[in-house]
Amino acid sequence: MVSAVSMGDVLVDFVEILVSAITTLGEGIATGVTAIAKALFLEYNEGALVGLSTFGGIVAIFAGLALSISICTRVYTWVTSLGN
């Protein structure tokens, strides 16, 4: 005998399949992006984290320079506006 399946059960099953596929896709993308970031910015030796790679160090230096220049510019603008 074939049991009757309600439309609600079919809809629930459909949503579960759809959500699980989206979740799996998101986890796969996150794993790939994490692997790319680790390969670009970190350096490993025999599975142990050694430190930043050369590229990661250069990025950190330029980010620090950009941040310091931005802060100095804002402080300069604030100090010169005190007399107005």
Strand partners, 51: 43
64 in the same domain as 25: no
The whole-number pLDDT of residue 3 equals 63
Condensed to tens digits (0 to 9), the pLDDT of residues 15-33 reads 888 888 888 899 999 999 9
One-letter-per-residue 3-state SS of the chain:
CCCCCCHHHHHHHHHHHHHHHHHHHHHHHHHHHHHHHHHHHEEEECCEEEEECHHHHHHHHHHHHHHHHHHHHHHHHHHHCCCC
40 in the same domain as 2: yes
pTM of this structure: 0.58
44 in the same domain as 12: yes
Q: Is the pLDDT of residue 4 over 80?
A: no
81 in the same domain as 46: no
**Domain hosting residue 67, numbered range:** 53-84
Count structural domains, the chain: 2
80 in the same domain as 46: no
